[in-house]
Amino acid sequence: MDIDAIRLNFSPGSLMLLNAILSIVMFSIALDLKPSDFRALLRAPKPLIAGLISQFLVLPALTFAMLMVTNPRPSIALGLILVAACPGGNISNFITHRAGGNSALSVSMTGFATVSAILFTPLNVAFWGNLYQPTRDLLRETALDPVSIAITVFFMLILPLILGVMVNVRRPQLAERIRRPMQALSMAIFIGFIVLALAANWGFFLSHATAVAGLVILHNALALSGGYLTASVARVSDYDRRAITIETGIQNSGLGLVLIFAFFGGLGGMAVAAAFWGIWHAISGLVLANLWSRREAAR
């Protein structure tokens, strides 16, 4: 069956549960943040600005260029555009720490990118999806509503971010006590849920994985390279460059899956691309972190 025509099984109850799990993951990340982290970056904003440019401008543009060259199936192309439009992934902070990069910058970038996603995620999907002709018809069929996407991003990511920062400020001892256990538990639950939720479509994923594997690997390599080059052009330290590279190459594919099932009816090619991204970016990020960890970053 044509991958562009397949709609995956994902019940409304499962979607609500996935929303809740992602909210818990975001809350656990926010327990590492304080208002002072944001103020420090605003006083010396160059690494943050470079990271946001890499995340929301460079990566979508590189994605568009890749699609023009590779010309994949429209639903797969739209899935890659959507992933590129999402903010940094939930494991980027852990991987940055493993890589010897600036963890504080990584966590703050996750926060800033998450807040920015309420505007830039729907804007990038609409702009690049309409600019690339094969995906234009798919967007028209789904009647993409940027306001609805922004509302979803707010309740799933931004509200938990605000609550996590508030707990860290007002109840720092509680935040310190629950931070690591919550982060480990929430990530384990998230990974387990994705595996179980996709089990009903496992045969489909296995039969179509080869159609997206090479594209996702290339896309992720472009994301990491784009982050590294953007940070290099901005002339930030190696310590900051590692954080920006990983933050650009680790995308919130969980958010991508929520948006695919909520706004695109579980369109097969999009879901396979986002799901494979969720697997591959963890592998590539950990490999890169292992290589970087062998040499201390210059500050």
Token duo for residue 1: 């069956």
Token duo for residue 31: 């327990």
Task: Enumerate the β-bridge partners of residue 267.
Answer: 7
Does the pLDDT value for residue 208 go beyond 90?
no
Sorted by sequence, the CB contacts under 8 Å of residue 115 that are 6+ apart come out as 158, 161
| pLDDT tens-digit readout, 70-85 | 999 898 999 999 999 9
- How many Å apart are CA 50 and CA 247, to the nearest integer? 11
- How many Å apart are CA 93 and CA 99, to the nearest integer? 10
pLDDT above 70 covers what percent of the chain?
A: 87
Q: What is the chain's alpha carbon radius of gyration, rounded to the nearest angstrom?
A: 18
- pLDDT, position 196: 66
- How many Å apart are CA 73 and CA 147, to the nearest integer? 27
**Which of 74-78, 191-195, 209-213 shows the lowest per-residue confidence on average (mean pLDDT)?**
191-195
- pLDDT, position 129: 94
| pLDDT tens-digit readout, 82-99 | 999 999 877 888 889 889
DSSP 23: H
- How many Å apart are CA 31 and CA 290, to the nearest integer? 26
- pLDDT, position 235: 94
Q: Which pTM does this prediction carry?
A: 0.86
Query: How many CB atoms are located within 10 Å of the residue 17 CB?
Result: 14
Sorted by sequence, the CB contacts under 8 Å of residue 174 that are 6+ apart come out as 167
Nearest to 259 by CA among 120, 82, 116: 82
Q: What is the mean pLDDT of residues 194-210?
A: 67
Q: What is the mean pLDDT of residues 204-212?
A: 72
- pLDDT, position 199: 66
- pLDDT, position 6: 57
| pLDDT tens-digit readout, 115-165 | 888 889 999 999 999 999 999 988 887 766 778 888 888 888 888 888 988
1 vs 166, residue with greater confidence: 166
The one-letter amino acid code at 154 reads F
**Which of 23-32, 205-214, 254-263, 281-290 shows the lowest per-residue confidence on average (mean pLDDT)?**
205-214
The one-letter amino acid code at 175 reads A
- pLDDT, position 144: 67
- pLDDT, position 55: 94
DSSP 298: P
The one-letter amino acid code at 258 reads V
Q: How many CA atoms lie within 13 A of 207 on its CB side?
A: 9
Q: Which one of 12-26, 41-55, 217-231, 276-290 scores highest in mean pLDDT? A: 217-231
Contact 62, 222 (CB under 8 A): yes
Tokens 């409304």, located at residue: 12
- pLDDT, position 153: 85
Percent composition of the chain: helix, strand, coil (DSSP 3-state, to 5): 80, 0, 15
The one-letter amino acid code at 34 reads K
Contact 107, 37 (CB under 8 A): yes
Q: What is the mean pLDDT of residues 177-192?
A: 77
- pLDDT, position 127: 94
- How many Å apart are CA 217 and CA 273, to the nearest integer? 10
Token duo for residue 268: 């097969």
Domains of the chain (ranges; CATH) run 12-292 (1.20.1530.20)
| pLDDT tens-digit readout, 10-63 | 555 666 777 777 788 778 878 877 777 677 677 778 999 999 999 999 999 999
What's the mean per-residue pLDDT of the chain?
84
Q: What is the mean pLDDT of residues 199-216?
A: 74
